[in-house]
């Protein structure tokens, strides 16, 4: 698979569950004292893991009486496997159906035959996404970005990294090298996943080529990319382009409805043999610059959002950021200090919201951390996230981030 296609597939594979099914599942769990999961599978394990995270107690897995004999071990994931006839308590008892859809009718008929009339049916898509988002990353599947610049030369409204609010701030290449070497140690020198250099606007860094060269030197087997808004691309000298070509970088260009010569940019990438993935909205590779929309991801400044809301966030366990030795599950948490300082707020980023890689023992610890929802999610009003008009420049007001 080419570098470009790996990058493209990554950005276009971001998934999340719409908030309504999450809300319905939480409501179903709250109204039942006895909860069972109907079916035993990888998807069922992910659903159980999700429910444990939000402190929902599941009594057991349940299967039909004619299938109980198929299980040599009547335990899975730390809970019993029961036949339906073994479930005797019908007081506030509910079943979460976690079977392929083709078996739903049989399962519902079985439940009704035993007098159970309350069940929650999960869509195939929701089960699939929940399983995907709670999977541990491997040395091949992990994609993360090094944020080396906080500020930007564009200033988008509602920027998720708060770069339009940031003072000028560059990462020190010495810190970068220490982080690279530690991560190589954690991965045993066998990391074959994807690493990106990003910002803010990464091209503002005065020694961006040194960062790119060092990254390739330390991770010769990784797929590498550089994220940019493109404003400085045509002014970069030949040494920059030669380094990107020699180090097999892909440019990830987020396009905006601004005065850029996209034809000249494409010609430059062809001349230096540097692959480019360009899209207005990175999760939609077919979008055009004039279609750039603005999304509002409002904060709950009181931090009262439900614990399970992370499943409705595209960034969870996907948009991973490394910054100054700390690994974050999303760019919002990594850059919250900028928001707090600019608006005089205190949306707290606690010790469980990041992993200090210099304190980590191995890659397994890294992978386990990334699939654990941060406490910070309590500030994210996932339910009311929305597309809200076309792209525009920021007015640097807090109303861009709160309702």
Q: Are strands 75-76 and 79-83 parallel, antiparallel or unpaired?
A: antiparallel
Domain count, the chain: 2
Separation in Å, CA 125 to CA 26, 121, 122, 357, 374: 17, 12, 8, 34, 24
Any domain includes 6: no
Shared domain check, 223 and 200? yes
Quick: pLDDT tens for 309-356.
999 999 999 999 999 999 999 999 999 999 999 999 999 999 999 999
Shared domain check, 55 and 29? yes
Distance from first CA to last CA of the chain, Å, rounded? 43
The backbone torsions φ and ψ at residue 120, rounded to the nearest 5 degrees and listed phi first, read -115, 125
pTM for this prediction: 0.92
Which CATH number covers residue 91?
Answer: 3.40.50.720
46 close to 25: Cβ distance less than 8 angstroms: no
Quick: pLDDT tens for 280-320.
887 777 777 667 888 999 999 999 999 899 999 999 999 99
Handedness of CA 261, 267, 268, 269 (dihedral sign): positive
User: Beta-carbon neighbour count of residue 309 at 10 Å?
Assistant: 22
Q: Is 286 exposed, middle or buried (0-12, 13-18, 19+ CB in 10 A)?
A: exposed
pLDDT at 5: 63
Residue 116 has pLDDT above 50, yes or no: yes
Which of the four pLDDT bands, split at 50, 70 and 90, describes residue 172? very high
Residue 378 and residue 384: Cα distance in Å, rounded?
14
The backbone torsions φ and ψ at residue 253, rounded to the nearest 5 degrees and listed phi first, read -105, 110
Any domain includes 108: yes
Any domain includes 2: no
The backbone torsions φ and ψ at residue 149, rounded to the nearest 5 degrees and listed phi first, read -140, 130
Element (H, E) at 112: helix 104-113
Residue 275 and residue 281: Cα distance in Å, rounded?
18
Quick: pLDDT tens for 268-280.
999 999 999 988 8
Which of the four pLDDT bands, split at 50, 70 and 90, describes residue 232? very high
Q: In terms of residue numbers, what domain contains 178? A: 136-400
Per-residue pLDDT, averaged over 82-104, amounts to 91
Any domain includes 11: no
Shared domain check, 147 and 103? no
Any domain includes 336: yes
Share of the chain above pLDDT 70, in %: 98
Residue 219 and residue 143: Cα distance in Å, rounded?
13
Any domain includes 3: no
Of 104, 133, 162, the position where a domain reaches its end is 133
Any domain includes 192: yes
Shared domain check, 168 and 126? no
The backbone torsions φ and ψ at residue 50, rounded to the nearest 5 degrees and listed phi first, read -60, -45
């Amino acid at each position: 698979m080419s570098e470009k296609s790996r990058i493209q597939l990554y950005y276009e594979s971001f998934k999340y569950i719409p908030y309504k099914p999450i809300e319905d599942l939480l409501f179903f769990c709250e109204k039942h004292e006895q909860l069972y999961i109907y079916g035993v599978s990888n998807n069922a394990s992910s659903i159980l893991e999700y429910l444990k995270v939000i402190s929902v107690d599941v009594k057991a897995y349940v299967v039909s009486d004619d299938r109980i004999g198929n299980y040599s071990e009547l335990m899975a994931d730390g809970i019993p496997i029961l036949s339906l006839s073994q479930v005797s308590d019908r007081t506030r008892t509910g079943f979460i159906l976690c079977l392929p859809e083709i078996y739903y009718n049989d399962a519902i008929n079985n439940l009704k035959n035993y007098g159970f009339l309350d069940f929650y049916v999960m869509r195939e898509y929701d089960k699939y996404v929940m399983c995907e988002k709670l999977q541990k990353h491997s040395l091949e599947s992990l994609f993360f970005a090094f944020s080396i610049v906080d500020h930007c030369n564009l200033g988008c409204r509602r920027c998720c990294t708060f770069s339009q609010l940031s003072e000028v701030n560059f990462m020190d290449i010495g810190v970068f090298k220490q982080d690279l070497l530690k991560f190589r140690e954690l991965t045993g020198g066998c990391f074959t996943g994807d690493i990106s250099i990003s910002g803010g606007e990464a091209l503002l860094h005065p020694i961006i080529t040194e960062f790119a060269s060092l990254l390739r030197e330390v991770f010769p087997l990784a797929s590498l990319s550089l994220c940019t808004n493109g404003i400085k691309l045509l002014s970069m000298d030949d040494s920059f382009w030669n380094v990107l070509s020699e180090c097999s970088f892909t440019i990830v260009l987020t396009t905006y409805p601004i005065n850029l010569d996209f034809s000249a940019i494409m010609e430059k990438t062809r001349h230096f043999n540097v692959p480019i993935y360009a899209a207005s909205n990175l999760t939609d590779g077919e979008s055009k610059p004039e279609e750039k929309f603005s999304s509002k991801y409002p904060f709950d400044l009181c931090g009262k959002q439900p614990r399970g809301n992370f499943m409705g966030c595209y960034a969870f366990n996907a948009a991973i950021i490394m910054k100054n030795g700390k690994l974050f599950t999303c760019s919002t948490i990594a850059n919250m200090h900028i928001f707090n300082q600019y608006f005089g707020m205190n949306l707290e980023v606690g010790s469980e919201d990041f992993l200090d890689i210099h304190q980590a023992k191995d890659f397994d610890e890294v992978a386990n951390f990334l699939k654990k929802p941060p406490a910070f999610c309590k500030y994210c009003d996932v339910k009311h996230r929305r597309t809200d008009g076309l792209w525009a420049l920021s007015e640097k007001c807090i109303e861009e981030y709160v309702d």
